[in-house]
């Protein structure tokens, strides 16, 4: 069974890149009837906050991305300790004592010599008495995973295809800090093994992590999952944007973006498939495949999201939105204003055209005479707007803008808006006549 995971760190709110990763992992699992795991990577006790854990859960619920199970790394520390001890016994991890300043100096020296800036394994050259002396000085070691320079780092990437790294050109990664806390790679590998993760889909910034983790899986006697690395999101200008890091579900909700619009946009962003206003997730799932993912950066465009959102709102049935509409607004009211809105939040402004008050417009003498005639000729029927305008056309000879615009302005206080044929029955006969008369006799 396909099992994927989304593994956010609760050190902040989800942003649009996180959301896309979560969605694609959910889709990868659900397309084949598999399992989607939410793993909270909260080993960094100093930066992790429970409020962010709650926010992550709430955002996924709002998006309709439901996890089949949830795990917390902070509750699995004993599992990482056990794996660490086994690797230590096997000689695959070792203590290192360099400070950050010493490592930076080594890096500069290597660059100056035209060498790749990788860790030189100086800690492996220390004798036992040298290690003891450092610890006697109070220098606690950090721990590195020892890469096997003879073991190839190669895999068939679900997006990038055949991928290969030379282990000699990679630093032995630090997996545990001097204070005993964990960095990302070992706990993640342990979790992927024990949680039965079969597919890891993440951003291409993790490619070198994958190369290292492949050896970790082997060192722990486990088969690696299938890896795929998708292109990162960029702004429409084609550059990585700090703004994308601040765009989260809260920001989208404030803008009135529907979760279905965000899902429809992100589901296909970076693929060869067109981004379309598809609110049916089964339709999105049926076309989801890693073979459609491209290598070029995926461009996120707010204007395109707004276009998708507007199209989805225009297709939403009354039953789906009735609990979000102004009091007293029925299906006929929704049908009247729906074509004019881009977000549900705009409904109240248009509904005011029915409930009032409306803006007052000053008309010239000729138009006031025309509106007085309209008030006198108003005869209510199943279609009062067309009955009125047809009668006025015959009586006055007006047509086009001269016929319709003064009526719209008098009845709504605007020169554009919902279809008047649908609006008049909602306003009602008495109020329609009163508005015409007020406009005719004002000023």
269 C-beta neighbours (distance < 10 Å), count: 23
Mutual angle of helices 259-268 and 302-314, in 10-degree steps:
130
Q: Is 299 marked as a binding-site residue?
A: no
Strand segments, DSSP code E, in 279-321 are: 298-300
Mutual angle of helices 16-31 and 50-63, in 10-degree steps:
60
Peptide bond into 357 cis (omega under 30): yes
Kindly give the pairing relationship between strand 153-157 and strand 69-72: unpaired
Sign of CA dihedral 61, 65, 67, 73: negative
Here the tokens at position 428 are 């009602």
Residue 302, CB half-sphere, CA atoms under 13 Å: how many? Answer: 11
Give φ, ψ of 48 to 5 degrees. Answer: -75, 135
CA-closest candidate to residue 251, choices 61, 13, 9, 8: 13
91 C-beta neighbours (distance < 10 Å), count: 9
Buried b (16+ CB within 10 A) or exposed e, 302-326: eeebbbbbbbbbeebeeeebeeebe
Measured CA to CA, the distance from residue 150 to residue 147 in angstroms comes to: 9
**Sequence-separated (6 or more) residues with CB below 8 Å from residue 225:** 192, 197, 198, 199, 200
Place of tokens 């402004």: 349
- Greatest distance between any 2 Cα atoms in the chain: 110
Binding positions for ATP: 242
- Which residues define the annotated binding site? 242
């Amino acid at each position: 069974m396909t099992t994927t995971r989304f593994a956010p760190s609760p050190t902040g709110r989800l942003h649009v890149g996180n959301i896309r990763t979560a969605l694609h992992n959910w889709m990868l699992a659900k397309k084949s009837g598999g399992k989607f795991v939410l793993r909270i990577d909260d080993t960094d006790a100093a930066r992790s906050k429970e409020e962010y854990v709650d926010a992550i859960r709430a955002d996924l619920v709002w998006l309709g991305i439901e996890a089949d199970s949830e795990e917390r790394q902070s509750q699995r520390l004993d599992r990482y300790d056990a794996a660490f001890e086994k690797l230590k016994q096997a000689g695959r991890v070792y203590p290192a004592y360099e400070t950050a300043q010493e490592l930076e100096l080594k890096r500069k020296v290597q660059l100056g010599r035209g060498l790749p800036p990788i860790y030189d394994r100086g800690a492996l050259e220390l004798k036992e008495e040298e290690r003891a002396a450092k610890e006697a000085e109070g220098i606690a070691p950090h721990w590195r995973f020892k890469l096997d320079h003879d073991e190839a780092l190669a895999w068939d990437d679900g997006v990038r295809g055949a991928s290969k790294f030379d282990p000699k050109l990679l630093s032995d990664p630090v997996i545990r800090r001097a204070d005993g806390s964990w960095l990302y790679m070992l706990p993640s590998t342990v979790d992927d093994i024990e949680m039965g993760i079969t597919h890891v889909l993440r951003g291409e910034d993790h490619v070198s992590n994958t190369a290292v983790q492949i050896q970790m899986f082997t060192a722990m006697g486990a088969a690696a999952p299938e890896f795929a690395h998708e292109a990162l999101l960029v702004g429409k200008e084609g550059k990585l944007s700090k703004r994308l890091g601040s765009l989260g579900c809260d920001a989208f909700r404030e803008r009135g973006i529907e979760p279905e619009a965000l899902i429809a946009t992100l589901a296909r962003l970076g693929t060869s498939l067109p981004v379309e206003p598809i609110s049916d997730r089964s339709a999105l799932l049926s076309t989801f495949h890693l073979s459609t993912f491209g290598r070029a950066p995926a461009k996120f465009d707010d204007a395109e999201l707004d276009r998708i959102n507007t199209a989805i709102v225009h297709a939403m049935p009354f039953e789906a939105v009735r609990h979000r509409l102004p009091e007293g607004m029925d299906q006929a009211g929704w049908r009247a204003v729906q074509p004019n809105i881009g977000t549900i939040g705009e409904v109240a402004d248009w509904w005011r055209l029915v409930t009032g008050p409306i803006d007052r417009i000053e008309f010239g003498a000729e138009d006031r005479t025309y509106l007085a005639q309209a008030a006198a000729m108003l005869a209510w029927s199943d279609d009062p707007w067309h009955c009125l305008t047809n009668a006025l056309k015959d009586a006055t000879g007006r047509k086009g803008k001269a016929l319709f615009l003064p009526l719209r302005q008098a009845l709504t206080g605007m020169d554009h808006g919902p279809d008047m044929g649908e609006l008049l029955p909602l306003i009602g006969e008495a109020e329609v006549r009163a508005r015409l008369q007020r406009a005719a006799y004002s000023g």
